[in-house]
Structure 1
Amino acid sequence: MAMEKNKVKFGLNKVHYAKITSYDEEGVPTFATPVRIPGAVSLSIDAEGEASNFYADDGVYYVINNNSGYTGDLEIALVPLEFATDILGEKLDEKGVLTETNTAEVSQFALLFEFTGDKRKIRHVLYCCSASRPATEGQTTEDSKEVKTETISIKASALPNGLVKAKTCESTDASTYDGWYKNVYTPAAGTASKTTVKA
Protein backbone atom coordinates (compact mmCIF):
# COMPACT_ATOMS: atom_id res chain seq x y z
CA MET A 1 0.00 0.00 0.00
CA ALA A 2 1.44 3.38 -1.03
CA MET A 3 2.08 6.13 1.50
CA GLU A 4 0.01 9.30 1.56
CA LYS A 5 1.66 12.19 -0.27
CA ASN A 6 3.37 14.93 1.73
CA LYS A 7 2.49 18.54 0.98
CA VAL A 8 5.20 20.10 3.16
CA LYS A 9 8.36 19.10 5.03
CA PHE A 10 9.93 20.47 8.19
CA GLY A 11 12.20 19.40 11.04
CA LEU A 12 15.33 17.23 11.06
CA ASN A 13 15.61 13.96 12.95
CA LYS A 14 17.33 10.57 13.18
CA VAL A 15 20.67 11.57 11.71
CA HIS A 16 22.92 8.51 11.32
CA TYR A 17 26.31 7.78 9.80
CA ALA A 18 27.52 4.48 8.31
CA LYS A 19 31.27 4.22 7.81
CA ILE A 20 32.57 2.90 4.50
CA THR A 21 34.87 0.14 5.71
CA SER A 22 36.27 -0.99 2.35
CA TYR A 23 35.86 -1.03 -1.44
CA ASP A 24 36.03 -4.10 -3.63
CA GLU A 25 37.95 -4.33 -6.92
CA GLU A 26 35.02 -2.78 -8.79
CA GLY A 27 34.77 0.17 -6.40
CA VAL A 28 31.67 -1.12 -4.59
CA PRO A 29 31.74 -0.09 -0.92
CA THR A 30 30.96 -2.05 2.21
CA PHE A 31 29.05 -0.03 4.82
CA ALA A 32 29.13 -0.58 8.57
CA THR A 33 25.83 -0.62 10.47
CA PRO A 34 24.39 2.93 10.76
CA VAL A 35 25.09 4.73 14.06
CA ARG A 36 22.84 7.49 15.45
CA ILE A 37 24.21 11.04 15.82
CA PRO A 38 22.10 12.52 18.63
CA GLY A 39 21.33 16.21 19.04
CA ALA A 40 20.81 17.14 15.37
CA VAL A 41 19.96 20.85 15.04
CA SER A 42 20.06 21.60 11.32
CA LEU A 43 21.31 20.31 7.99
CA SER A 44 21.86 22.60 5.03
CA ILE A 45 23.25 21.12 1.82
CA ASP A 46 23.52 22.68 -1.62
CA ALA A 47 23.74 20.89 -4.95
CA GLU A 48 27.10 21.23 -6.71
CA GLY A 49 27.58 21.27 -10.47
CA GLU A 50 25.86 23.13 -13.26
CA ALA A 51 24.28 22.16 -16.53
CA SER A 52 26.16 23.27 -19.64
CA ASN A 53 24.89 23.49 -23.18
CA PHE A 54 26.46 22.03 -26.32
CA TYR A 55 25.51 24.10 -29.34
CA ALA A 56 25.08 22.81 -32.87
CA ASP A 57 22.79 23.55 -35.83
CA ASP A 58 22.28 27.09 -34.50
CA GLY A 59 20.78 25.92 -31.21
CA VAL A 60 21.18 23.88 -28.03
CA TYR A 61 21.99 20.41 -29.36
CA TYR A 62 22.66 18.67 -26.05
CA VAL A 63 22.56 19.60 -22.35
CA ILE A 64 25.38 18.19 -20.21
CA ASN A 65 24.39 17.70 -16.57
CA ASN A 66 27.38 17.98 -14.23
CA ASN A 67 26.35 16.42 -10.90
CA SER A 68 29.16 17.13 -8.46
CA GLY A 69 27.22 16.01 -5.39
CA TYR A 70 26.42 18.27 -2.44
CA THR A 71 28.21 20.44 0.08
CA GLY A 72 26.89 21.93 3.29
CA ASP A 73 26.86 21.95 7.06
CA LEU A 74 25.48 19.65 9.74
CA GLU A 75 24.88 21.43 13.04
CA ILE A 76 24.65 19.20 16.14
CA ALA A 77 24.73 19.64 19.91
CA LEU A 78 28.09 17.85 20.32
CA VAL A 79 30.20 15.64 18.05
CA PRO A 80 29.79 12.11 19.48
CA LEU A 81 32.88 10.19 20.57
CA GLU A 82 32.07 7.41 18.10
CA PHE A 83 31.98 9.83 15.16
CA ALA A 84 35.24 11.45 16.24
CA THR A 85 37.03 8.09 16.32
CA ASP A 86 35.25 6.28 13.46
CA ILE A 87 35.20 9.14 10.94
CA LEU A 88 37.49 12.00 12.02
CA GLY A 89 40.35 9.66 12.90
CA GLU A 90 40.84 10.81 16.48
CA LYS A 91 42.24 8.32 18.98
CA LEU A 92 41.00 7.41 22.46
CA ASP A 93 44.04 6.53 24.57
CA GLU A 94 44.31 4.14 27.51
CA LYS A 95 43.59 6.98 29.95
CA GLY A 96 40.30 7.84 28.24
CA VAL A 97 41.64 11.00 26.58
CA LEU A 98 40.65 11.81 23.00
CA THR A 99 43.66 12.89 20.95
CA GLU A 100 43.95 14.46 17.51
CA THR A 101 47.08 14.36 15.36
CA ASN A 102 48.06 15.99 12.09
CA THR A 103 48.33 12.54 10.50
CA ALA A 104 44.76 11.48 11.32
CA GLU A 105 43.01 9.86 8.34
CA VAL A 106 39.41 10.90 7.78
CA SER A 107 37.05 8.11 6.67
CA GLN A 108 34.21 8.27 4.15
CA PHE A 109 30.68 7.46 5.27
CA ALA A 110 27.03 7.44 4.26
CA LEU A 111 24.83 10.04 5.96
CA LEU A 112 21.24 9.05 6.72
CA PHE A 113 18.55 11.40 8.02
CA GLU A 114 14.89 12.30 7.74
CA PHE A 115 12.72 15.38 7.40
CA THR A 116 9.31 15.38 9.01
CA GLY A 117 6.39 15.66 6.59
CA ASP A 118 2.75 16.36 7.21
CA LYS A 119 1.88 12.74 6.33
CA ARG A 120 5.08 10.67 6.45
CA LYS A 121 8.74 11.30 7.31
CA ILE A 122 10.99 11.51 4.24
CA ARG A 123 14.15 9.45 4.75
CA HIS A 124 17.36 10.25 2.89
CA VAL A 125 20.83 8.80 2.37
CA LEU A 126 23.91 10.50 0.93
CA TYR A 127 26.19 7.65 -0.06
CA CYS A 128 29.75 8.98 -0.08
CA CYS A 129 30.43 11.75 2.44
CA SER A 130 33.52 13.25 3.96
CA ALA A 131 33.56 15.57 6.97
CA SER A 132 35.75 18.37 8.26
CA ARG A 133 36.85 18.85 11.86
CA PRO A 134 34.49 21.13 13.83
CA ALA A 135 35.69 24.42 15.27
CA THR A 136 36.24 24.70 19.03
CA GLU A 137 34.54 27.63 20.73
CA GLY A 138 32.92 28.68 23.98
CA GLN A 139 32.34 31.69 26.18
CA THR A 140 31.99 32.58 29.82
CA THR A 141 28.61 32.08 31.48
CA GLU A 142 26.69 35.29 32.06
CA ASP A 143 23.21 35.95 33.49
CA SER A 144 21.70 33.43 31.09
CA LYS A 145 23.23 30.33 29.54
CA GLU A 146 23.50 29.98 25.79
CA VAL A 147 23.98 26.54 24.27
CA LYS A 148 26.94 26.34 21.89
CA THR A 149 26.53 23.86 19.05
CA GLU A 150 29.16 22.27 16.81
CA THR A 151 29.09 22.36 13.01
CA ILE A 152 30.60 19.79 10.67
CA SER A 153 31.12 20.67 7.02
CA ILE A 154 29.93 17.83 4.77
CA LYS A 155 30.98 17.04 1.20
CA ALA A 156 28.87 14.38 -0.54
CA SER A 157 30.21 12.99 -3.80
CA ALA A 158 29.31 10.09 -6.09
CA LEU A 159 30.29 6.48 -5.51
CA PRO A 160 32.33 4.87 -8.33
CA ASN A 161 29.04 3.52 -9.76
CA GLY A 162 27.63 7.07 -9.96
CA LEU A 163 25.23 6.78 -7.01
CA VAL A 164 24.95 10.05 -5.04
CA LYS A 165 21.70 10.13 -3.04
CA ALA A 166 18.41 8.31 -2.42
CA LYS A 167 15.23 9.14 -0.52
CA THR A 168 11.91 7.53 0.31
CA CYS A 169 8.63 8.65 -1.23
CA GLU A 170 4.97 7.62 -1.19
CA SER A 171 5.70 4.50 -3.28
CA THR A 172 8.45 3.15 -0.98
CA ASP A 173 7.54 -0.31 0.35
CA ALA A 174 7.11 -0.79 4.10
CA SER A 175 10.08 -3.11 4.65
CA THR A 176 12.48 -0.71 2.94
CA TYR A 177 11.10 2.27 4.85
CA ASP A 178 11.13 0.52 8.24
CA GLY A 179 14.66 -0.82 7.74
CA TRP A 180 16.18 2.46 6.56
CA TYR A 181 18.43 2.87 9.62
CA LYS A 182 19.35 -0.80 9.99
CA ASN A 183 21.40 -1.08 6.81
CA VAL A 184 22.35 1.37 4.07
CA TYR A 185 19.78 1.01 1.29
CA THR A 186 21.13 0.42 -2.21
CA PRO A 187 19.09 0.22 -5.42
CA ALA A 188 18.56 -3.00 -7.31
CA ALA A 189 20.97 -3.88 -10.12
CA GLY A 190 20.25 -1.80 -13.18
CA THR A 191 19.64 1.40 -11.24
CA ALA A 192 23.15 1.34 -9.83
CA SER A 193 25.66 -1.33 -9.05
CA LYS A 194 24.73 -3.40 -6.01
CA THR A 195 26.42 -2.30 -2.81
CA THR A 196 27.42 -4.82 -0.17
CA VAL A 197 26.01 -3.99 3.26
CA LYS A 198 27.68 -5.14 6.44
CA ALA A 199 25.11 -6.31 8.98
Structure 2
Amino acid sequence: MPKIGVDRAEYGKYGEDNKISEIKRLKGLRKAKLDVSQEIENFYADDGVYEILDGGISDLGLEFELADILTEAKSDLLGAPIEDGMEIYNQDIQSPYVAASFRTKMSNGKYVYFGLARGKFSIPSLDAQTKEDKLSAQTDTISGKFAAREDKLMMVIAREDSPSFDLNKFYDRVYGTLPDPIEVTSVSVNPKTTIKTQGTAGEQQFTSLVIPVDAADKEVTFSVAPKPTGLAISTDGKLTWTNAVAVGDYTVTATTKGAKVGTATLTLKTPQ
Protein backbone atom coordinates (compact mmCIF):
# COMPACT_ATOMS: atom_id res chain seq x y z
CA MET A 1 0.00 0.00 0.00
CA PRO A 2 1.41 3.46 -0.89
CA LYS A 3 3.09 5.49 1.85
CA ILE A 4 1.98 9.13 2.03
CA GLY A 5 3.73 10.53 5.10
CA VAL A 6 6.27 10.06 7.87
CA ASP A 7 6.43 11.32 11.46
CA ARG A 8 7.04 10.43 15.11
CA ALA A 9 10.81 9.99 15.11
CA GLU A 10 11.71 8.74 18.58
CA TYR A 11 14.71 7.38 20.44
CA GLY A 12 15.69 5.92 23.77
CA LYS A 13 19.19 5.89 25.25
CA TYR A 14 20.59 2.76 26.87
CA GLY A 15 21.78 3.30 30.43
CA GLU A 16 24.63 1.65 32.30
CA ASP A 17 22.25 -1.18 33.17
CA ASN A 18 21.74 -1.76 29.42
CA LYS A 19 18.10 -0.69 29.71
CA ILE A 20 16.12 2.25 28.34
CA SER A 21 14.24 4.30 30.92
CA GLU A 22 12.74 7.03 28.72
CA ILE A 23 11.56 7.44 25.13
CA LYS A 24 12.02 10.92 23.64
CA ARG A 25 10.64 12.56 20.50
CA LEU A 26 12.68 14.08 17.68
CA LYS A 27 10.38 16.82 16.40
CA GLY A 28 10.23 18.09 12.85
CA LEU A 29 10.80 14.84 10.94
CA ARG A 30 10.80 15.43 7.17
CA LYS A 31 12.32 12.20 5.84
CA ALA A 32 13.38 8.81 7.16
CA LYS A 33 15.61 6.49 5.16
CA LEU A 34 16.13 2.88 6.21
CA ASP A 35 18.85 0.81 4.53
CA VAL A 36 18.83 -2.95 5.10
CA SER A 37 21.67 -5.24 4.00
CA GLN A 38 21.20 -8.99 3.95
CA GLU A 39 23.93 -11.49 3.09
CA ILE A 40 22.60 -13.77 0.39
CA GLU A 41 24.99 -15.62 -1.92
CA ASN A 42 24.63 -18.35 -4.50
CA PHE A 43 26.56 -21.56 -3.83
CA TYR A 44 27.50 -23.25 -7.10
CA ALA A 45 27.88 -26.98 -7.68
CA ASP A 46 27.11 -29.41 -10.51
CA ASP A 47 27.46 -26.54 -12.97
CA GLY A 48 24.66 -24.50 -11.44
CA VAL A 49 23.22 -22.87 -8.33
CA TYR A 50 23.25 -25.68 -5.79
CA GLU A 51 22.04 -23.71 -2.81
CA ILE A 52 21.36 -20.13 -1.76
CA LEU A 53 23.32 -19.20 1.35
CA ASP A 54 21.57 -16.76 3.67
CA GLY A 55 23.59 -15.06 6.40
CA GLY A 56 20.71 -12.97 7.73
CA ILE A 57 20.71 -9.21 8.22
CA SER A 58 24.25 -7.89 8.21
CA ASP A 59 23.71 -4.15 8.48
CA LEU A 60 21.01 -1.58 9.22
CA GLY A 61 21.36 2.09 8.43
CA LEU A 62 18.93 4.83 9.49
CA GLU A 63 18.89 8.45 8.39
CA PHE A 64 16.59 11.16 9.72
CA GLU A 65 16.14 14.52 8.00
CA LEU A 66 14.74 16.97 10.52
CA ALA A 67 13.76 20.62 10.57
CA ASP A 68 16.22 21.04 13.45
CA ILE A 69 18.06 18.88 15.96
CA LEU A 70 17.94 20.47 19.39
CA THR A 71 20.91 20.55 21.74
CA GLU A 72 19.31 18.14 24.22
CA ALA A 73 18.79 15.56 21.48
CA LYS A 74 22.37 15.94 20.25
CA SER A 75 23.63 15.39 23.78
CA ASP A 76 21.57 12.21 24.06
CA LEU A 77 22.34 10.83 20.60
CA LEU A 78 25.96 11.90 20.19
CA GLY A 79 27.26 11.97 23.77
CA ALA A 80 28.20 15.66 23.63
CA PRO A 81 28.09 17.28 27.09
CA ILE A 82 26.37 20.65 27.40
CA GLU A 83 28.34 23.43 29.09
CA ASP A 84 26.99 26.98 29.34
CA GLY A 85 24.53 26.18 26.56
CA MET A 86 27.29 24.87 24.28
CA GLU A 87 27.66 21.39 22.82
CA ILE A 88 31.19 20.17 23.56
CA TYR A 89 32.76 17.73 21.07
CA ASN A 90 36.05 16.33 22.36
CA GLN A 91 38.41 14.18 20.33
CA ASP A 92 37.51 11.06 22.27
CA ILE A 93 33.73 11.56 22.06
CA GLN A 94 31.69 8.37 21.80
CA SER A 95 28.04 8.15 20.83
CA PRO A 96 25.89 6.15 23.26
CA TYR A 97 23.85 3.14 22.20
CA VAL A 98 20.23 3.96 21.45
CA ALA A 99 17.07 2.41 20.05
CA ALA A 100 15.11 4.41 17.49
CA SER A 101 11.75 4.32 15.73
CA PHE A 102 9.49 6.20 13.32
CA ARG A 103 6.25 5.60 11.49
CA THR A 104 4.93 6.02 7.96
CA LYS A 105 1.33 6.72 7.03
CA MET A 106 -0.40 4.58 4.42
CA SER A 107 -3.04 5.70 1.96
CA ASN A 108 -5.73 3.99 4.09
CA GLY A 109 -4.93 6.30 7.02
CA LYS A 110 -3.23 3.58 9.06
CA TYR A 111 0.41 3.63 10.17
CA VAL A 112 3.39 1.30 9.84
CA TYR A 113 5.83 1.52 12.76
CA PHE A 114 9.55 0.80 12.33
CA GLY A 115 11.80 0.15 15.31
CA LEU A 116 15.57 -0.44 15.39
CA ALA A 117 16.77 -2.13 18.54
CA ARG A 118 20.36 -0.98 19.14
CA GLY A 119 22.80 1.29 17.38
CA LYS A 120 24.70 4.56 17.33
CA PHE A 121 24.27 7.87 15.52
CA SER A 122 27.25 9.76 14.12
CA ILE A 123 27.98 13.49 14.33
CA PRO A 124 26.28 15.18 11.37
CA SER A 125 28.12 17.37 8.89
CA LEU A 126 27.01 20.89 8.06
CA ASP A 127 26.32 22.32 4.61
CA ALA A 128 25.05 25.86 5.11
CA GLN A 129 24.37 28.45 2.42
CA THR A 130 23.59 32.12 2.25
CA LYS A 131 20.07 33.50 2.09
CA GLU A 132 18.94 34.19 -1.47
CA ASP A 133 15.99 36.01 -3.04
CA LYS A 134 13.96 32.81 -3.04
CA LEU A 135 13.49 31.18 0.36
CA SER A 136 15.13 27.78 0.65
CA ALA A 137 14.79 25.96 3.97
CA GLN A 138 17.88 24.19 5.29
CA THR A 139 17.44 21.06 7.34
CA ASP A 140 19.55 18.83 9.59
CA THR A 141 20.36 15.21 8.81
CA ILE A 142 21.60 12.60 11.26
CA SER A 143 22.63 9.04 10.35
CA GLY A 144 23.10 5.91 12.42
CA LYS A 145 24.24 2.32 12.17
CA PHE A 146 22.34 -0.45 13.96
CA ALA A 147 23.29 -4.02 14.80
CA ALA A 148 21.83 -6.96 16.69
CA ARG A 149 20.94 -6.62 20.35
CA GLU A 150 21.92 -9.29 22.87
CA ASP A 151 18.68 -11.11 22.09
CA LYS A 152 19.62 -10.93 18.37
CA LEU A 153 16.78 -8.51 17.66
CA MET A 154 17.63 -5.93 15.01
CA MET A 155 14.36 -4.50 13.71
CA VAL A 156 10.62 -4.58 14.40
CA ILE A 157 7.92 -3.58 11.90
CA ALA A 158 4.31 -3.29 13.08
CA ARG A 159 1.32 -2.49 10.86
CA GLU A 160 -1.66 -0.75 12.41
CA ASP A 161 -4.01 -2.51 9.97
CA SER A 162 -3.01 -5.91 11.37
CA PRO A 163 -5.82 -7.47 13.47
CA SER A 164 -3.38 -8.22 16.29
CA PHE A 165 -1.69 -4.79 16.28
CA ASP A 166 -0.81 -3.47 19.74
CA LEU A 167 1.26 -0.28 19.89
CA ASN A 168 2.30 -0.84 23.49
CA LYS A 169 3.74 -4.23 22.55
CA PHE A 170 5.71 -2.59 19.73
CA TYR A 171 7.29 -0.09 22.14
CA ASP A 172 7.95 -2.76 24.73
CA ARG A 173 9.68 -4.96 22.15
CA VAL A 174 11.87 -2.18 20.78
CA TYR A 175 12.56 -0.11 23.90
CA GLY A 176 11.57 -2.30 26.83
CA THR A 177 9.41 0.57 28.11
CA LEU A 178 6.48 2.75 27.03
CA PRO A 179 6.51 6.45 26.06
CA ASP A 180 4.85 9.02 28.27
CA PRO A 181 1.31 9.85 27.12
CA ILE A 182 1.21 12.72 24.62
CA GLU A 183 -0.65 15.62 26.23
CA VAL A 184 -3.20 17.83 24.51
CA THR A 185 -1.84 21.31 23.73
CA SER A 186 -4.98 22.92 22.28
CA VAL A 187 -8.53 22.31 21.08
CA SER A 188 -10.68 24.21 18.60
CA VAL A 189 -14.39 24.03 17.73
CA ASN A 190 -15.85 24.17 14.22
CA PRO A 191 -17.71 25.87 12.69
CA LYS A 192 -16.37 28.90 14.52
CA THR A 193 -19.43 31.07 13.88
CA THR A 194 -22.99 30.05 13.06
CA ILE A 195 -25.77 32.57 12.36
CA LYS A 196 -29.44 31.54 12.30
CA THR A 197 -32.76 33.36 12.45
CA GLN A 198 -34.61 33.38 15.77
CA GLY A 199 -38.12 31.98 15.89
CA THR A 200 -37.37 28.83 13.94
CA ALA A 201 -36.25 25.59 15.56
CA GLY A 202 -32.94 24.26 14.32
CA GLU A 203 -29.76 22.32 14.96
CA GLN A 204 -26.03 22.63 14.28
CA GLN A 205 -23.35 19.97 14.54
CA PHE A 206 -20.12 21.21 16.15
CA THR A 207 -16.88 19.23 16.01
CA SER A 208 -13.68 19.49 18.00
CA LEU A 209 -10.10 19.34 16.71
CA VAL A 210 -7.57 18.30 19.32
CA ILE A 211 -3.87 19.09 18.83
CA PRO A 212 -1.68 17.12 18.54
CA VAL A 213 -3.70 14.59 16.59
CA ASP A 214 -1.93 11.69 18.32
CA ALA A 215 -2.62 12.95 21.85
CA ALA A 216 -3.27 10.15 24.29
CA ASP A 217 -6.71 11.36 25.41
CA LYS A 218 -8.66 13.43 22.86
CA GLU A 219 -12.00 13.19 24.67
CA VAL A 220 -13.84 16.51 25.06
CA THR A 221 -16.95 17.63 26.91
CA PHE A 222 -19.33 20.00 25.12
CA SER A 223 -21.31 22.70 26.90
CA VAL A 224 -23.26 25.82 25.92
CA ALA A 225 -23.85 29.12 27.73
CA PRO A 226 -26.15 30.77 28.37
CA LYS A 227 -28.46 27.79 28.38
CA PRO A 228 -32.11 28.87 28.34
CA THR A 229 -35.01 26.42 28.17
CA GLY A 230 -35.16 24.92 24.69
CA LEU A 231 -31.39 25.05 24.02
CA ALA A 232 -29.38 21.85 24.48
CA ILE A 233 -26.14 20.26 23.32
CA SER A 234 -25.39 16.54 23.07
CA THR A 235 -22.23 14.75 24.13
CA ASP A 236 -21.06 14.63 20.50
CA GLY A 237 -21.55 18.37 19.93
CA LYS A 238 -24.98 18.62 18.30
CA LEU A 239 -26.65 21.85 19.38
CA THR A 240 -30.45 22.04 19.11
CA TRP A 241 -32.84 24.86 19.84
CA THR A 242 -36.58 25.49 19.76
CA ASN A 243 -38.42 28.46 18.28
CA ALA A 244 -38.78 29.89 21.79
CA VAL A 245 -35.02 30.51 22.30
CA ALA A 246 -34.41 34.26 22.36
CA VAL A 247 -32.27 36.41 20.07
CA GLY A 248 -28.65 36.50 21.23
CA ASP A 249 -25.21 34.92 21.18
CA TYR A 250 -24.64 31.44 22.64
CA THR A 251 -21.14 30.11 23.27
CA VAL A 252 -20.35 26.46 22.59
CA THR A 253 -17.34 25.21 24.55
CA ALA A 254 -15.30 22.03 24.17
CA THR A 255 -13.19 21.17 27.21
CA THR A 256 -10.55 18.44 27.41
CA LYS A 257 -9.71 16.46 30.52
CA GLY A 258 -6.58 18.57 30.79
CA ALA A 259 -8.73 21.73 30.91
CA LYS A 260 -7.84 22.95 27.41
CA VAL A 261 -10.75 24.94 25.99
CA GLY A 262 -12.03 25.79 22.52
CA THR A 263 -15.12 27.85 21.70
CA ALA A 264 -17.55 28.67 18.91
CA THR A 265 -20.60 30.91 18.71
CA LEU A 266 -24.22 30.48 17.66
CA THR A 267 -25.96 33.76 16.91
CA LEU A 268 -29.75 33.88 16.69
CA LYS A 269 -30.60 37.07 14.84
CA THR A 270 -33.85 39.01 14.80
CA PRO A 271 -36.23 37.92 12.03
CA GLN A 272 -36.59 40.40 9.16
TM-score, structure 2 length as denominator? 0.57
Kindly indicate whether residue 47 of structure 2 is the aligned counterpart of residue 53 of structure 1: no
Structure 2, unmatched stretches of 5+, are: 180-272
| Structure 1 unaligned blocks of 5 or more | 1-6, 24-28, 188-194
Shift of 1:168: 1.2
Instruction: Answer yes or no: is 1:76 the counterpart of 2:70.
Output: no
Residues 16 and 112 in structure 1, CA contact (< 8 A), matched pair in contact too: yes
Does residue 10 in structure 1 map to residue 4 in structure 2? yes
Contact 1:15 / 1:113 at 8 angstroms: preserved in 2?
Answer: yes
Q: CA deviation at 1:39?
A: 0.9
Paired-residue identity, %: 22
Residue 172 (structure 2) aligns with = 185
Task: Answer 1 or 2: higher relative contact order, Cα 8 Å, separation at least 6.
Answer: 1
The whole-number CA distance in structure 1 between the counterparts of 2:69 and 2:25 is 11
Partner of 1:102: 91
Contact 2:40 2:52 (C-alpha < 8 Å) held by counterparts: no
Q: CA deviation at 1:198?
A: 7.9
Q: Kindly report the root-mean-square deviation, in angstroms, between the aligned alpha carbons of the 2 structures.
A: 2.5
Task: Tell me the SS of whatever aligns to 2:100.
Answer: strand
Report how far residue 55 of structure 1 moved. Answer: 4.8
Match of 2:33 in 1: 44
- Alignment partner of 2:72: what SS? helix
Partner of 2:125: 135
Identify the residue that residue 111 of structure 1 maps to in structure 2.
Answer: 100
Instruction: Give the SS at the match of 1:87.
Output: helix
Partner of 2:171: helix, strand, or coil? coil
Is 145-154 or 164-173 further displaced after alignment?
164-173
**How far did 1:149 drift?**
0.8
Of the three residues 142, 158, 161, the one matched with 1:168 is 158
The CA distance in 2 between the partners of 1:65 and 1:172, in whole Å, is 31
* Structure 1 residue 141: Cα displacement: 1.6
Deviation digits for residues 149-183 of structure 1 (CA, Å, limit 9, x no counterpart): 11112212111221111121233646x32x37xx8
Question: 2:24 — aligned with what?
Answer: 35
- Indicate how the Cα distance of structure 1 residues 72 and 166 shifts in structure 2: closer, same or farther if over 3 A, else same: closer
Determine if contact 1:156/1:164 at 8 Å carries over to the other structure: yes
In 2, Cα distance between equivalents of 1:22 and 1:172:
37
Give the match for residue 149 of structure 2: 159
Higher strand share: 2
Relative to the length of structure 1, the TM-score reads 0.76
One-letter amino acid matched to 1:110: A
Per mean C-alpha deviation after superposition, the further-off stretch among 76-85 and 33-42 is 76-85
Q: What is aligned with 2:13?
A: 19
How many residue pairs end up in the alignment?
A: 176
The 1-side partners of 2:163 and 2:95 are apart by 33
SS of the counterpart of 1:50? strand
